[in-house]
């Protein structure tokens, strides 16, 4: 039986999570959400992964958002029961301790856009289309979109995009910071794996500490944010990785990080 999310090694210390409902353009069903949560838990608990790359088995879409066909038959009670399942999936991606790169080719709409926003870096093919169209169907973005989008593009631009629900082509997404890098269509995965390999060559402890500082320090007062950074600095500075990194630099060799 095909799994809604497939997990496989993509390179040394890089794990690829593949959204595998290509026939439904990765519409986020209850089963897909549960599979995302399970896959993230497995990766987080393992010791072999320093970077996660999220891709799609579909050439047409990263994900078109919530599975509205599944929801069409839901009662209010069923919709309410599904809500924590979906929230857990987005949280699982956001809370991965290692860097996460989302690879967007084709559509990333609604929850699909929010799933990409849960990553640390978004690499988009030139044919990518982003959008949070929830208000057009009587909903509010519920996978973190109202919080993540303003942090990327600013509150006024996020308000315009969420209130209108309009679609954002890749070139505009790159200009406004919704996507971090736009590459020729069909090459986003290769670009993401190259970036992942570059990240994975660094100290996994330091990279995780840096991610924690970036996430935990965001939107805090400056003095509090610097304390967050100091804790991250100390976690790395007094570690075996720091000693190995300095030794490797002096000896002009590749470091052998503790894993």
Q: Are 25 and 58 in contact (CB under 8 A)?
A: yes
Give dist(CA 69, CA 23) in Å, integer.
Answer: 13
Active site residues: 66, 111, 114, 134
Give dist(CA 133, CA 220) in Å, integer.
Answer: 30
Bridge partners, 66 (sequence order): 28
* N residues, the chain: 259
Bridge partners, 123 (sequence order): 103, 181
Give dist(CA 72, CA 80) in Å, integer.
Answer: 14
Cα angle: 46, vertex 51, 58; to 5 degrees: 105
For the residues of 144-185, what is the DSSP string, one character each?
Answer: SHHHHHHHHH-HHHHHHHHHH--EEEHHHHHHHTSSSEEE-T
| φ/ψ (deg, to 5) at 147 | -105, -40
Measure CA 111 to chain center.
12
Q: Are 144 and 212 in contact (CB under 8 A)?
A: no
């Amino acid at each position: 039986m095909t799994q809604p999310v497939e997990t496989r090694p993509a390179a040394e210390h890089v794990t690829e999570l593949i959204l595998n409902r290509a026939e439904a353009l990765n519409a986020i069903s209850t089963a897909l959400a549960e599979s995302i949560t399970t896959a993230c838990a497995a990766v987080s608990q393992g010791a072999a992964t320093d970077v996660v790359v999220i891709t799609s088995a579909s050439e047409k879409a990263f994900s078109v958002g919530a599975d509205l066909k599944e929801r069409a038959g839901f009662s209010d009670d069923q919709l309410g029961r599904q809500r924590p399942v979906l929230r857990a999936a987005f949280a699982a991606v956001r809370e991965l301790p290692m860097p996460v790169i989302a690879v967007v080719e084709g559509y990333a709409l609604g929850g699909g856009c929010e799933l990409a926003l849960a990553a640390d870096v978004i690499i988009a093919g030139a044919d990518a289309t982003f959008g949070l169209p929830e208000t057009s169907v009587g909903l509010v973005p519920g996978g973190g979109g109202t919080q993540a989008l303003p942090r990327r593009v600013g509150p006024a631009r996020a308000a315009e995009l969420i209130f209108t629900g309009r679609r954002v082509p890749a070139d505009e997404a790159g200009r406004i910071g919704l996507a971090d890098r736009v590459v020729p269509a069909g090459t986003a995965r290769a670009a993401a794996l190259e970036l992942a390999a570059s990240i994975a060559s660094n100290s996994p402890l330091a990279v995780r500490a840096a991610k924690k500082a970036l996430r935990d320090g965001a939107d805090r007062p400056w003095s509090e944010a610097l304390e967050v950074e100091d804790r991250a600095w100390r976690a790395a500075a007094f570690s075996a990785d720091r000693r190995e990194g300095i030794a490797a630099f002096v000896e002009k060799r590749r470091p052998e990080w503790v894993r």
